């Protein structure tokens, strides 16, 4: 059934993960605490069992002795937390590093990059502390100029990383890319840095869910929140199985329920992001393409392609999907993603796809996430608008929300602002269609 997150929160589709490479290779899925049955009283309720919600629950339980109740419409990690491109890297939002400096100044940009690095460290720490087996690979990322005109922009970010942030980055020429990473087209140069890695995102989500439960959090799966009201000083969350009354609520739904509450309604645009995974490369194909890197990679398109080599020699590639999650448009996009692999890597022109799936990411008006409280209700918190770069950012923001709720810690000022309202929010899909056409035209000509 087609789902439109602009019309409602996710109604719930059971506890089976959608078909994907990640779901097929995740192994044993941990069990939650069952669906909500009857009325429940809780100090803290978290709506959404993805990276933000699970991280918030874990850190609240472990560090502050809280017993948060997580309400997940389906299964933990069911949304983009278990379907994403698997990149853990120091990025927050979709603005370029030099734009951080231009928009907020050097000091704020440095603080934001420090937070991005801390997010990568938080993910590493969870993997270590929880003994999460999630197929961690390599320690680097490449941003690749798909046209020669985009190389200058990479150089600007290299200078910011090296000179202002003190973070080592280098600019690779096409020969260095071909010799040390892959041979292909659409690679006129690349910005490379460390501090990043690929992993199995659903195994990571399952591991954090397990850690949260072991620390004392309660995880109610199959419990979509269909309504939110107030009763005096309490929030009342309605689910099919009963109501949850809580003093504090955290909205951690990102692209899967932003219209649920007025604090986030009309403030993000849920956008489909789709991924294709190929069959394993043959030895000859791998040699011809010289696909030897395990760095996570993405190009300089506005509607960027992100891609990487998986441990079993498959290629993963994704980008922004169609406007609607309809079978016909999704089938066309599957073919487009496979064609992008053939175009980028001519040696792989015969490779086929074994997996294809998608999920809803949340894009904000200013291309940045916002982690804050509702304008008129300091007991309602939210973290969303990751703009497709939400693995380490969402996990880190979940941790920061826990620190704010449990210990009163301040949030990063750049991110601790309310989500700006989308202009003409009722017509967001029309605006998206126009912008996507413009971006595609510009990406291939500019």
Across the chain, mean pLDDT equals 95
Per the structure block, which two tokens stand in for 78? 């069911």
Per the structure block, which two tokens stand in for 270? 């849920």
Residues belonging to the chain: 446
In this prediction, residues 282-304 reach a mean pLDDT of 96
pLDDT for 406 beyond 50: yes
Q: What is the pLDDT of residue 1?
A: 46
Element (H, E) at 153: helix 151-159
How far apart, in whole angstroms, are the C-alpha atoms of residue 213 and residue 204?
Answer: 14
C-alpha gyration radius of the chain = 21
Torsion sign (Cα): 210, 211, 216, 220: negative
72-86 confidence digits (pLDDT tens) = 999 999 999 999 999
How far apart, in whole angstroms, are the C-alpha atoms of residue 36 and residue 25?
Answer: 29
Q: What is the DSSP letter of 82?
A: G
How far apart, in whole angstroms, are the C-alpha atoms of residue 372 and residue 413?
Answer: 10
Going from N- to C-terminal start, the domains of the chain cover 21-434
Helix (H, G, I), strand (E, B) or coil at 111: helix
Helix (H, G, I), strand (E, B) or coil at 392: helix
201-229 confidence digits (pLDDT tens) = 999 999 999 999 999 999 999 999 999 99
Burial class for 191, CB neighbours closer than 10 Å (0-12, 13-18, 19+)? buried
Element (H, E) at 64: helix 51-64
144-182 confidence digits (pLDDT tens) = 999 999 999 999 999 999 999 999 999 999 999 999 999
Helix (H, G, I), strand (E, B) or coil at 380: strand
303-358 confidence digits (pLDDT tens) = 999 999 999 999 999 999 898 888 899 999 999 999 999 999 999 999 999 999 99
| 301-309: Cβ within 8 A, 24+ apart | 301/146, 301/439, 301/443, 302/439, 302/442, 302/443, 303/436, 303/439, 303/440, 303/443, 305/146, 305/340, 305/344, 306/85, 306/87, 307/341, 307/344, 308/85, 308/86, 308/87, 308/137, 308/198
Fold category of 21-434 in CATH: FAD/NAD(P)-binding domain (3.50.50)
How far apart, in whole angstroms, are the C-alpha atoms of residue 95 and residue 91?
Answer: 9
15-46 confidence digits (pLDDT tens) = 889 999 999 999 988 889 999 999 999 999 99
Threshold 0.85, pTM exceeds = yes
How far apart, in whole angstroms, are the C-alpha atoms of residue 358 and residue 167?
Answer: 33
Q: What is the DSSP letter of 39?
A: -
């Amino acid at each position: 059934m087609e789902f439109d997150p602009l019309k409602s929160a996710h109604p719930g589709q059971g506890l089976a993960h959608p078909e994907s490479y990640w779901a097929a290779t995740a192994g044993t899925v941990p069990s939650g605490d069952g669906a909500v049955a009857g009325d429940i009283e809780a100090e803290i309720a978290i709506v959404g069992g993805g990276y933000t919600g699970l991280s918030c629950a874990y850190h609240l339980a472990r560090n502050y002795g809280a017993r948060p109740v997580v309400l997940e419409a389906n299964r933990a990690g069911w949304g983009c937390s278990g379907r994403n491109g698997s990149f853990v890297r120091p990025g927050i939002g979709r603005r370029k590093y030099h734009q951080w400096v231009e928009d907020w100044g050097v000091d704020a940009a440095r603080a934001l990059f420090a937070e991005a690095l801390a997010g990568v460290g938080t993910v590493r720490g969870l993997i270590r502390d929880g003994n999460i087996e999630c197929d961690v690979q390599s320690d680097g990322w490449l941003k690749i100029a798909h046209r020669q005109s985009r190389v200058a922009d990479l150089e600007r970010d290299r200078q910011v990383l090296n000179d202002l942030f003190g973070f080592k980055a280098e600019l690779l020429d096409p020969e260095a890319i071909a010799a040390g990473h892959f041979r292909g087209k659409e690679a006129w140069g690349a910005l490379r840095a460390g501090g990043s890695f690929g992993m199995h995102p659903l195994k990571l989500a399952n591991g954090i869910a397990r850690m949260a439960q072991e620390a004392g959090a309660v995880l109610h799966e199959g419990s979509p929140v269909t309504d939110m009201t107030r009763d005096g000083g309490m929030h009342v969350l309605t689910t099919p199985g009963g109501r949850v009354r809580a003093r504090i609520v955290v909205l951690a739904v990102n692209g899967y329920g932003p219209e649920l509450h007025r604090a986030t309604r009309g403030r993000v645009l849920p956008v489909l992001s789709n991924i294709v995974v190929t069959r394993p490369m043959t030895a000859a194909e791998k040699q011809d393409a010289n696909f030897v890197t395990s760095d996570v990679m993405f190009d300089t398109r506005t509607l960027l392609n992100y891609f990487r080599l998986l441990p079993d020699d498959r290629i993963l590639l994704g980008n922004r999907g169609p406007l609607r999650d309809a079978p016909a448009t999704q089938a066309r996009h599957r073919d487009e993603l496979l064609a992008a692999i053939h175009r980028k890597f001519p040696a792989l022109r015969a490779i086929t796809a074994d997996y294809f799936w998608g999920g809803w990411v949340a894009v904000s008006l200013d291309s940045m996430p916002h982690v804050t409280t509702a304008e008129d209700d300091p007991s309602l918190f939210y973290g969303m608008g990751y703009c497709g770069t939400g693995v380490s950012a969402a996990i880190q923001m979940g941790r920061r929300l826990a620190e704010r709720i449990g210990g009163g810690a301040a949030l990063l000022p750049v991110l601790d602002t309310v989500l700006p309202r989308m202009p003409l929010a009722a017509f967001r899909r029309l605006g998206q269609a126009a912008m996507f056409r413009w971006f595609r035209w510009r990406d291939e000509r500019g």
